[in-house]
Every structure is written in structure tokens, then in C-alpha cells.
Homo-oligomer: A and B are copies of this chain.
Amino acid sequence: MFAVTILGNNSAIPTAERHPTSQVVTSYDQLLMIDCGEGTQVQMTRFKIRRSRIRHIFISHLHGDHYFGLIGLLNSLSLLGRTEPLTVYAPPELEQILQLQLDCAATQLKFALHFVALRGEAAGVILEEKDLEVSFFPVKHRIPCFGFVFEQQKKKRKIIPEQAQAYKIPAAFYSRLQEGADYQRKDGLLVKNNWVTLPPPKGKKYVYCADTIYDESLVPRLEGADLVYHETTYLHGLAERAAERYHSTSVQAATLAARAGAQRLLIGHFSSKYTELAPFLEECRPVFPNTELSVEGATYLI
């Protein structure tokens, strides 16, 4: 299982129907949150996403529609008795904001809150798990802002059954083969791992581009992605306004996905001015046919 569920698909001003940005990535049995706008914890309840299963939260930038719901979520987790640690990845000032709010409430969270600061023009891996690697990269927005790449890691090499049988390797040793071990036969022959296995198949890749102006330098980040999330705050008629505000349009997101040769494009962060979202798809699909609207509560396989 590798998928992303949309909790909020709107830009800054929440409405009764659409909420500010938040997504949950599911990788096997793990849940990871990206951004956490106001109301996210209620959206989790609504869509039956168990708050307790989140262990990592990635905050792209400190515009409120991407993090105002975080302190409330942390508070609720503590009140609900969480003891398992939680790690937040975000621009460094967020730690101070959260601490000030906890101090004013004389609240000590019942769980350890780790904080990983994202800064400047850096990029790289910030989380390595058994099956998943998460990295971050800078995007161009009005304030420091970061995108995230989620790649499932297939660590197990692929056994070539005919070869393994030809070398008479016992099935009990196959899991060691998948881990890359050589096999020492009793007759003295050392069967090299790469005689009987292939490298692990490529893992699936999800790229979250956060809030960003149209920026062709992102193309290499998107290459090989099975799913790209790119904001489309505006329809293309407002391309000028989008650029002024460091946001993107429908056509721009589709153009970037097409240039990078991504498999699929998911668009969101729609301005509250739009009550109908279908025109976003109508503008994207001629440029990049495999485009989907992010719909709150919907889950998209990666």
C-alpha cells in the first residue's frame, strides 16, 4: 500500500466545504502527514484516519493555511494519552511557536516531540525507514518553503528462481539471498549473490511540491515520479496574479508534469474564489491528460 489521502484541498481562506492543506501518506502500515491547516484534526475524524498512527509530520512552510491546525492536533494527541514520540519536520521558527503556545497553557505534552529544522537551500534525505525514504527540497515561494519526496524503498533483491535452483540453493536461504548474502555451498563453491538475484525493483515515488511559483528548475525533482502533487491556486487566466503571489496555475502545473515525464498529476490548493473545480481539470488535461483533482476524503494510489 502506497497512497495519499487528501484532508484539505483549498488555499488560505477555509470554507464550510473546503479546508486548508493537509494530506496523509500511507506507506504499508505507516501514516505520515504533510501540512496541517486549521481543522485538520476534525477532517481526520471525519475520514476515519487514526490520529494515533501518525509518527511524522512534514510542514512545507509557515503560511498559516499549512500549519495552524498542528498545535491543536498535538494538544489533542496528548489529551488522548499518546506516549509514542512524534517528529515534526519544518522551518525552525515553528518550534518556537509551538513551545510558546504550550508554555502559555502550562501544558507539557505527554509524548516526546522531536523537531527537524528545514532551512535555506538545502535538500536531502530526512527520514529513512525500512520501506520508505523521505527527502526534502526547496521551492520558490514568498517565504522559505519546501517540497517533499516520498519513495518506497524495496530493499529486497529479486531472486531469479531458475538460477537459484541451478545452484541448488535451499529455499530456507532465500530470505538471506533477498538481503544480498552470498551462499557458501558444502562442495566449496561460493555462489555470489548477483549470480542468482537481481537488484531490488524500483520503488514508487510521490513528489509533493507545496506552494510554489511556476519553476522549471523543479523538473529534475519530478522525474520518475509515479504521482506528483502540484498546487494550482488559480486558473490560467490569472497567471499574472499567480506569479505575483508566488503561486501557480492549472496549465503551469500540467506543463511541469509533462516536462518531467511524471506518471500522474494531482492538483489542489484551489483559491476560495472558485466554487467549481471542473475547469481546473479542463485546463490541465489538454497539456497533461493524466491529471486528477484532489478531493477531500479521497485516496490516490501512488
Residues on A lying within 8 angstroms of B by beta carbon are: 12-16, 19, 38-39, 41-42, 45-46, 62-65, 68-69, 71-72, 75-76, 79-80, 91, 93-94, 96-97, 100-101, 104-107, 142-143
B residues less than 8 Å from A15 (CB atoms): 42, 45
Bound together, the chains give a CA A94 to CA B101 distance in angstroms of: 9
Query: Once the chains bind, are A38 and B105 in contact (CB under 8 Å)?
Result: no
A-B pairs, top 9 by smallest CB distance, nearest first, are A62-B104, A38-B72, A93-B104, A16-B46, A13-B76, A68-B72, A16-B45, A64-B75, A106-B143
Distance in angstroms from A120 CB to nearest chain B CB is: 15
On chain B, the residues within 8 Å of A105 by CB distance are: 62-64, 143
Contact B38 A79 (CB under 8 A): no
- Chain B residues near A96 (CB-CB < 8 A): 100
Does A14 contact B38, Cβ atoms closer than 8 Å? no
> What's the Cα separation between A80 and B11 when bound, in Å?
13
Residue of B nearest to A94 (CB): B104
Chain B residue nearest in CB terms to A46: B16
Closest B residue to A143 using CB positions:
B106
Chain B contacts for A68, CB-based, 8 A: 38, 68, 71-72, 75
- A79 contacts B13, C-beta separation under 8 Å: yes
Listed by A's residue number, 6 A-B pairs whose Cβ atoms lie within 8 Å are: A13-B79, A14-B45, A63-B105, A91-B104, A97-B101, A106-B143
How far does the alpha carbon of A79 sit from the alpha carbon of B41 in the complex, in Å? 24
Q: How far is the CB of A45 from chain B (nearest CB, A)?
A: 5
Measured between beta carbons, the chain B residues less than 8 angstroms from A100 are 93, 96-97, 100
CA distance A128 to B109 in the complex (A): 40
Known contacts A13-B79, A93-B100, A100-B100; 5 additional CB pairs below 8 A are A13-B76, A14-B76, A19-B42, A64-B72, A68-B68
Nearest B-chain residue to A142, judged by Cβ: B106
> In the complex, A39 Cα to B45 Cα: how many Å?
14
Complex CA–CA separation, A91 to B63 (angstroms): 24
In-complex Cβ contact of A39 among B39, B75, B97 (8 A): B39
Chain B CB count within 10 A is highest, among A15, A16, A19, for A16
- The answer to whether A75 and B41 touch across the interface, beta carbons within 8 angstroms, is no
Bound together, the chains give a CA A94 to CA B68 distance in angstroms of: 15
